[in-house]
Amino acid sequence: EDKVRDFSEGRLDCLIGAAKPYGVLVRGIDLPKRIRYVIFYGVPKFEITLRDVNEMEDASIISLFSSLSRALGNEERKLAIKLRRNPSSDDIRRARQIIEDILKDEEKISSISSLTDIIIDARGRKIVIPDIRTYLQGSGRTSRLYPGGITRGASLIWDEDPILTSFIKRARAQEIDFLQLSEVDLEKLKSEIDESRRLISSLKKGYELANLLKTALFIVESPSKARTIASFFGRPSRRFLDGLMAYEVTTGDYVLTIVASGGHIVDLTTTVGYHGVLIEDGTYVPAYTSIKRCNACGHQFTDADRCPRCGSTDLRDSKSVVESLRRLSFEASRVIIGTDPDTEGEKIAWDIYQLIMDSSNEIYRAEFHEVTKRAIVEALRSLRGINDRMVKAQIVRRVEDRWIGFELSAEVQKRFGKRNLSAGRAQTPVLGWVIDRYREHQNKKVVSIIKGDGLLLRLDGKLEEVGASKIWIKELKVEEEVVKPPPPFTTDAMIGEANRILRMSANMTMQLAQFLFETGLITYHRTDSPRVSDAGFRVASLVLGDDFVPRKWGEGGAHECIRPTKPLSAKELVDYVKEGIMIVEGLSRDHIRLYDLIFRRFIASQSKDGTLVKQVASVRVGRSEFEVTRLIEARGGWIDWYPFLYTPEPRLKEGVLDVVIEHQTVPSAPLYTQSNLVALMKERGIGRPSTYATIVEKILQRGYVIERNQKLIPTKLGIEVYNFLRDRFPDLISEERTRTLERKMDSVEEGVADYQALIDELYNEIREKMGKLAAD
């Protein structure tokens, strides 16, 4: 205590002690004014011997066993899962015994050497694990949050131990970055550290506090996103307002209250105007009402006191959310709205702004494309206003969807006598594609199949020979082709590849991606841009090292590709979650599978070129001779990361082969998959990243299409509904009209077209078409 007092009062310039989890210098002192630098002489780490295991607490045994189980057998991995969920005393005793058995046997210690982030000392019978928590606590003595700012400090690690690489890798999982000392401007850093101490002195004297202390309400859409953001700034305090969870944290710039709106809080009413739009002196005014959610079945609707789907009266009205947001707005000096960075998110932000504007004098918009601490801090320091052009474009989309949907759906329901049927501007052309392809599929063609001795060749048309026969194969050449990597994922590509490789539906893929985005594992998943940001380059360079080849894949714009936010493979992510280094509640096997696909595709896009090896051979059957080009190897560069685009075949053997030749009648075209449909929507300009999955899901839900073995087949009802709409409303549901309308709505967002003029054009078009129908 005397030494700490001497240090506090300036009689000592440094303190030296042990970097232990609960050591005095790690957790026992709080002197942010005096402590500027922390030097770790050696990486903070746990060194575990047999004697340590006997004395370890149960929680430490669970954590250690989770780390080691990755290199053990299935039974041990099952025990690790049980320990993390609901451990019994017998389970913990068994885990402790397994660890002891490993440390008693040099051979067993060596067997877990495959763990690259843990150092195994077989001779000393010791396990060494990086201690991130001690580093965080110790370095935190220099850099502390206080009302109005954060004290700057510097922490240095002086070590050449192999564990340093493992330590840095684990630290990156928590967004902790390190630089070589030679990369740091020490004079600039010292100046920043000294200035932050001056501010502390001013605050303690009561100066500058009025200017520095800011309270802010931060509104996002989803509860999981709110929870993730709150976790970036320490352990938040919580309070409930009529079922709304509010997290309170200090960021250094703000005392921040974080809440979730739950998505949209208003929608067009169904009780006034033309399907919810008033027309006043030639101006179109959307009329909004609150959204109700049925607690029994989850259905959302407006303008009813009873759920139209299940009849329940147990409802939650978004009015209560608005009232809670208004109360919280009164308490804060400013409101910051951080909804998703697209037109739909901008419209939600605008709705919230309109409903709370009389409760706050300062309302701003924060835009971020990944839920990471770095991105959130940057967004909170780069506030902007609501983008009116994006809002107007979204208003046009919603109004047009409502008008077309209500009018056409009513006609379909009346014609077929079913109230659950619907029609829409985008879903109807897409249904037409499925029907057209089904008709093509029913047309047949003849192919020749050559089989024998591991050989399988398929040729269009009929060969003269059939049955048992011989073929002559002569290899003409083997050539190599250098291939560039594919770009990182956009929404359509992600949905397509997840459907093709993982057999996931479009809707499932988007739900999983939403979770990965909200928990800070990937960037925003609704995007048509393959662009890679500087942050993306950094992630790729940390994974690839010398194999990193920076490729931007696009220029400018705020949006970027779908990519991981951290340099962690799926396996590393799972391991760190198991160990408690990262906390991701609700992470499932399917989340991991999709994350792995996104990670692999992104890293591949920044890797070296790959190589394809092709064999060109001459094949003679009777009097017929033809050339065959066969992919026999795909290797190297990006292909090692993303091998799913090629399927190599065995090399053809030269000489005479005994074969069987068959003639088969097959469909002239394959049926579409969900992957094919989404690719067509992107190619033909139908739908947007936010609606691709919804459109596919809608035609399945309505029973217009069924899915068998991932192939889409139109039903009798689907064909009849489509034919009815095509015959009665060809202009309203044509693909060209839909594509043209998408371009016009984009022009509103760009500020080129007037949204009122476009709504007027739509109104007159729809009224004219429906009026002609009534007259007929």
d(CA 397, CA 554): 27
Q: Greatest CA separation found in the chain?
A: 102
Q: In this structure, what are the phi and psi dihedrals at residue 291, rounded to the nearest 5 degrees?
A: -105, 135
**Residue 311: CB partners within 8 Å, gap ≥ 6?**
none
Question: Which tokens in the block code for residue 103?
Answer: 């440390």
**Nearest CA among 482, 494, 522, 254 for reference residue 362:** 254
d(CA 635, CA 633): 6
CA 426 → CA 94, 527, 755, distances in Å? Answer: 59, 19, 20
Question: DSSP labels for 249-277?
Answer: EE-SS-EEEEEE--S--EEE-SSSTTTSE
**Nearest CA among 382, 354, 425, 504 for reference residue 732:** 425
First to last CA, the chain: 96
Strand ranges (DSSP E) for 83-175?
Answer: 119-121, 126-130, 145-146, 149-150, 154-158
Q: Which amino acid is at 709?
A: N
Burial class (CB in 10 A: 0-12, 13-18, 19+), 368: buried
Q: Give the distance from CA 503 to its chain's centroid.
A: 18
Q: Which of 135, 254, 353, 524 is catalytic?
A: 524
Question: Which tokens in the block code for residue 20?
Answer: 């232990």
d(CA 398, CA 395): 5
Is 41 annotated in the active site?
no
**Nearest CA among 579, 542, 571 for reference residue 132:** 579
Q: 377, 366 in Cβ contact below 8 A?
A: no
173-178, long-range: CB < 8 A, 24+ apart: 173/566, 173/568, 173/572, 173/576, 173/581, 173/582, 174/132, 174/136, 174/581, 174/582, 175/372, 175/373, 175/374, 175/566, 176/132, 176/136
- The length of the chain in residues reads 776
Residue carrying structure tokens 């000592």? 12
**Nearest CA among 304, 342, 233 for reference residue 688:** 342
H or E segment to which residue 746 belongs: helix 735-749
**Residue 93: CB partners within 8 Å, gap ≥ 6?**
none
**Residue 145: CB partners within 8 Å, gap ≥ 6?**
233, 234, 250, 251, 252
3-state SS assignment for residue 372: coil
**Residue 172: CB partners within 8 Å, gap ≥ 6?**
542, 566, 567, 568
d(CA 447, CA 457): 10
Q: At what angle do helices 506-518 and 674-684 cross, to 10 degrees?
A: 80
Strand ranges (DSSP E) for 636-767?
Answer: 655-667, 705-708, 711-714
Q: In this structure, what are the phi and psi dihedrals at residue 38, rounded to the nearest 5 degrees?
A: -125, 125
Strand ranges (DSSP E) for 56-141?
Answer: 119-121, 126-130
User: Would you please indicate which residues are annotated as catalytic (active-site) residues?
Assistant: 524
